[in-house]
Amino acid sequence: MSTSGVTFSPEQLAEVRRLQGLYPDPRGALLPVLHMAQETFGHISLEVEEYVAGLFRLSPAHVHEVVTFYTLFFQRPKGRHVISVCHNLSCHLAGAPKILAHLRQKLGIDVGETTGDERFTLLAVECLCACEHAPMMQVDDRYELDLTPERVDRIVEGLP
């Protein structure tokens, strides 16, 4: 394990302890620490799961069960940008299938895949609760609203 490079910095370890102290049971900080881990290591590999489990004195099996339950945790490497197109009802009514088809064609990948250059991961997701601006998508941290194929082009081409 020690050769793997999966370790937090001393500052991050202090933050882990601070987070754990906020909850009546330190385990409450598991989701926040997994968010931190994903930001640091890119995705949550089995190694990362084991490392985090150690920080909480939990079994790796417990952490694995948690990681696999939530859609925002990635078990495999993802692209530099994650594009999540909402395909729930209001977005569907406003043309989400067209937006998805456009992105599939533009990026040359299917939903759930990552481009060969590892720049983009394309996902179809459930309601992101911005239905008044349908169709919409999330690109990394940002909500992109009132989409048209042209707008999608501008957004994607503007990404670093």
Residues forming the site for ligand FES (CB under 6 A): 86, 88-91, 127-131, 134, 136
**Adjacent-strand bridge partners of 118:** none
Residue 118 binding another protein, by CB under 8 A = no
Hunting for tokens 């490497």 — which residue is that?
A: 77
Give yes or no for residue 28 binding another protein (CB under 8 A).
yes
**From another protein, ligand FES, none, which one binds at residue 71 (CB under 5 to 8 Å depending on kind)?**
another protein
Does residue 81 interact with another protein by CB under 8 A? no
DSSP 20-82: HHHSSSGGGGHHHHHHHHHHHHSS--HHHHHHHHHHHT--HHHHHHHHHH-TT--SS---SEE
Q: Say how far residue 84 (Cα) sits from the centre of its chain.
A: 9
Binding another protein (rule: CB under 8 A), the pick from 80, 90, 119, 149 is 90
Interacting residue with another protein among 6, 12, 31, 95 (CB under 8 A): 31
Q: What are phi and psi of 77, to 5 degrees?
A: -55, 140
Answer for which of 138, 149, 151, 155 binds another protein (CB under 8 A) is 138
What residue 136 binds from another protein, ligand FES, none (CB within 5 to 8 A, per partner kind)? ligand FES
Query: Could you tell me if residue 135 is left (phi over 0), alpha (psi between -120 and 50 degrees) or otherwise beta?
Result: beta
User: Smallest gap, in angstroms, from Cβ of residue 134 to ligand FES?
Assistant: 5
Q: In angstroms, give the least distance from the CB of 151 to ligand FES.
A: 15
Does 71 bind another protein (CB under 8 A)? Our answer is yes
What residues contact 36, with CB distance under 8 A and at least 6 apart? 8, 12, 15, 16
Partner touching 61 among another protein, ligand FES, none, CB below 5 to 8 Å by kind? none
